[in-house]
Structure 1
Amino acid sequence: MSYRSTIARQPQALADTHAAARAELAGMDLSQLDRPVIGVTGIGASFAAATVVAAELQSKGRRGFAIRSDDMVHGFDLCDALIGLSHRGRSVETVAALEKLPSAGRLAITNDPESPLAKAAHLHIRLANGSDATPSSTGYTATLLASGLVAQKLAGTADAFAGLPALAEEVLTTAGAKMERLGKLFENRRAIDCVGAGASLGTADGASLLIREASRIPAAAYDTRHYLHGPMESMDAATGVVIFGAGRELELAKHLQTIGVPVLLVTTAEDIADGELLTVIRVPKSGNLIAQGVIDIFSPQLLAAQLSDQAGLTDTKFRYRMSDTKVPQPEAA
């Protein structure tokens, strides 16, 4: 299935995952996760999702942290409970992270209950996003949604995700209307930075990976405040910046425009409008940081598809396939 078609399928993928994960969680005892320090881990886009999930746990008063899987394979005692994210459940590093923490409560979120990651965990939540493409679209957003249902059950809060399928349709339409303009402004960039704070740093990380994978433009992610302390110095009229947020990010977006840098700002703020080089995509505000992460990623997904098409790379397969990143599938008998 093509990248654009999987982006378009997200309202249904989110609805299906919400129903499946909610049903599983209804009868699940999460006491093994209800511990002082909760780690969230993954690799690639799943680590970007882990950053979003950890921020939501922190906002609810929990000591939740995104931990890189590679930091956990040495067996250090870094957390009391661990949530492992992997769409297919076969990422070597994430499986090893769960296996190296036998004393911690472990939950895996994948689309395969028979996957190596599911088997390395005490508990498993199944994604029901259907097919995905590369770069990941439905796999990433479904992972966030299922993680969000886990986080809200731990916090004892109301369901913030039931309305996401309808919001997805709305935001994809709103963002899609800006893509022709963004395609012209971001064409032939030599680099694109993606910037956000807190949970939005995870969204920025996910966006930078989408741009790299879909359009092969060098892209990187930065925390908003860190970005102001030097990294933005190399940006100019040959580059672009994608920003997520409604605080200091507004001034940053305006400043970058004044020095000639094309900017996409994904924001809940009402008091900022498009400029000559600034394109604003206004999105609904959610009180849940994970739900907001789902809402915010739709715009960079569409931007990556737009830039991919313009570069003649529509649905081009990855050039670099490493042999040691996935647990091998067992051979059929």
Structure 2
Amino acid sequence: MSYRSTVARQPAALRDTCTAITAEIAGKDLAALDKPVIGITGIGASYAAAVVGAGEFQRQGRRAIAIRACDIDAGQNLADALVGLSHRGRSVETVQAFRERPTATRFAITKDDESPLAEASDIHLKLNNGDDATPSSTGYTATLLALGMAIEKATGAPATDWAGIPAIAEETLALAAAKMDRLGKMFENRRAIDCVGAGSAFGTADEASLLIREASRIPAAAYDTRHYLHGPMESMDATTGVVVFGAEREIALAQNLKEIGCPVLLVTTADGIEDDGVLTVIKVPFSENRVAQGIIDIFVPQLLAATLSDAAGLTDTKFRYRQSDTKIGQPAAA
């Protein structure tokens, strides 16, 4: 299945996953996750999702951090509960982290309940997002959906309307699609694209940068909003581009970039900001829940990555660098 067609399947994939996870968590005691320190780990897109999820745990008053799997040492007690994210459940580093932390409560979200990560976990939720493509689209958002629902049950937080997310997906994808001709012209052939956001939106920025790198092979990187102001933005100009997520300091940042002629896409929940010169604005629906907001926000860069991939003649092109040691059970490279 192609990347663009998989992005278009988001509403159905999210609807199916919401139904499956609602049934699953009804019979699970997720209060076991509500420990003094909660670590969320994963690789690649799953790590970006971990950053989004840690932000929602923090909003609920919990001490939660996103931890790169390579930073989990068997001799260090970094977290009392460990959440592992891996779509297929076969990422070597995440599975190893679970196996080396048997004293922590280990909770995994994967698509395969017989995967190595599921087998190494104490609690597991199985996704039902159907087929995914490269770069990941439905796998990423389905993982976030399951994580958001699990966080609410674990913490006893007020319920979010997760069943309403598929309809929001349709709305947001339509809003984004209406701007893609404009964005395609402005962001084509960039020498680099930065993605910027704060808190959970930093995770969204990380995933957006990964999508752009994978789909269009344009160098891209992610930065926290405040960090970005302290030097990294100095290299941006009319030959680059920036994707900004947020409704606070991010608005002034987007305007600063516009004034120096740098094409910028602002994904925001704020009212009253319009396209202006090289600034393109996509206003998306607002959610108090940071995981739900992360799902909503990522639809825009998913379509941007597909647009840039098409412009570069890379539509559905496979990865050039195939690895043989990143997934458990993966065949050796030829």
TM-score computed with the length of structure 2 as normaliser:
0.98
Report which stretch shifted further, 160-169 or 26-35.
Answer: 26-35
Q: Secondary structure at the match of 2:33?
A: coil
Report which stretch shifted further, 143-152 or 29-38.
Answer: 29-38
Q: State how 1:27-176 maps to structure 2 within 5 Å.
A: 27-156=27-156, 157-176=158-177
Q: Secondary structure at the match of 1:162?
A: helix
2:194 maps to: 193
Post-superposition offset of 1:31: 3.2
2:257 maps to: 256
Provide, for residues 92-127 of structure 1, a one-character-per-residue CA deviation record: whole Å limited to 9, x for no partner.
000011111110101110000000000010010001
Post-superposition offset of 1:329: 5.3
Q: How far, CA to CA, are the matches of 1:75 and 1:270 in structure 2?
A: 49
Conservation of the 8 A alpha-carbon contact between 2:6 and 2:132: yes
Q: Secondary structure at the match of 1:281?
A: strand
Q: Tell me, yes or no, if structure 1 residue 4 matches structure 2 residue 4.
A: yes
Name the aligned partner's letter for residue 300 of structure 1. P
Post-superposition offset of 1:73: 4.4
Q: How far, CA to CA, are the matches of 1:282 and 1:136 in structure 2?
A: 23
Conservation of the 8 A alpha-carbon contact between 2:201 and 2:245: yes
Post-superposition offset of 1:271: 2.0
1:313 maps to: 314
Conservation of the 8 A alpha-carbon contact between 2:74 and 2:101: no
Name the aligned partner's letter for residue 20 of structure 1. A
Q: Secondary structure at the match of 1:83?
A: strand
Name the aligned partner's letter for residue 265 of structure 1. L
In structure 2, the CA distance between the partners of 1:165 and 1:70, relative to structure 1 (3 Å rule), is same
Name the aligned partner's letter for residue 221 of structure 1. A
Report which stretch shifted further, 70-79 or 203-212.
Answer: 70-79
Q: Tell me, yes or no, if structure 1 residue 281 matches structure 2 residue 270.
A: no
Conservation of the 8 A alpha-carbon contact between 1:160 and 1:288: no
Q: How far, CA to CA, are the matches of 1:168 and 1:5 in structure 2?
A: 14
Output the aligned Cα RMSD: 1.1
Conservation of the 8 A alpha-carbon contact between 1:160 and 1:291: no
Post-superposition offset of 1:161: 1.3
Provide, for residues 135-169 of structure 1, a one-character-per-residue CA deviation record: whole Å limited to 9, x for no partner.
00000000000000000101212133111000000
Conservation of the 8 A alpha-carbon contact between 1:196 and 1:245: yes
Q: Secondary structure at the match of 1:135?
A: coil
Give structure 1 regions of 4+ aligned residues with deviation exceeding 6 angstroms: none
Q: How far, CA to CA, are the matches of 1:81 and 1:19 in structure 2?
A: 26
Conservation of the 8 A alpha-carbon contact between 2:47 and 2:66: yes
Report which stretch shifted further, 145-154 or 155-164.
Answer: 155-164
Q: How far, CA to CA, are the matches of 2:18 and 2:100 in structure 1?
A: 30
Report which stretch shifted further, 30-39 or 126-135.
Answer: 30-39
Name the aligned partner's letter for residue 141 of structure 1. T
Conservation of the 8 A alpha-carbon contact between 1:40 and 1:66: yes
Q: How far, CA to CA, are the matches of 1:313 and 1:325 in structure 2?
A: 24
Q: Tell me, yes or no, if structure 1 residue 243 matches structure 2 residue 273.
A: no
Q: How far, CA to CA, are the matches of 1:81 and 1:226 in structure 2?
A: 29
Conservation of the 8 A alpha-carbon contact between 1:32 and 1:106: no
Post-superposition offset of 1:285: 0.2
Conservation of the 8 A alpha-carbon contact between 1:108 and 1:125: yes
Conservation of the 8 A alpha-carbon contact between 1:107 and 1:121: yes
- The alignment-based identity, stated in percent, is 70
Conservation of the 8 A alpha-carbon contact between 1:73 and 1:93: no
Name the aligned partner's letter for residue 34 of structure 1. D
Q: How far, CA to CA, are the matches of 2:162 and 2:142 in structure 1?
A: 11
Q: How far, CA to CA, are the matches of 1:8 and 1:47 in structure 2?
A: 23
Q: Structure 1, unaligned stretches of length 5 or more?
A: none
Alignment size in residue pairs: 331
Conservation of the 8 A alpha-carbon contact between 2:239 and 2:262: yes
Name the aligned partner's letter for residue 144 of structure 1. L
Q: How far, CA to CA, are the matches of 2:102 and 2:70 in structure 1?
A: 16
Q: How far, CA to CA, are the matches of 2:330 and 2:176 in structure 1?
A: 38
Q: How far, CA to CA, are the matches of 2:53 and 2:195 in structure 1?
A: 19
Q: How far, CA to CA, are the matches of 1:174 and 1:155 in structure 2?
A: 33
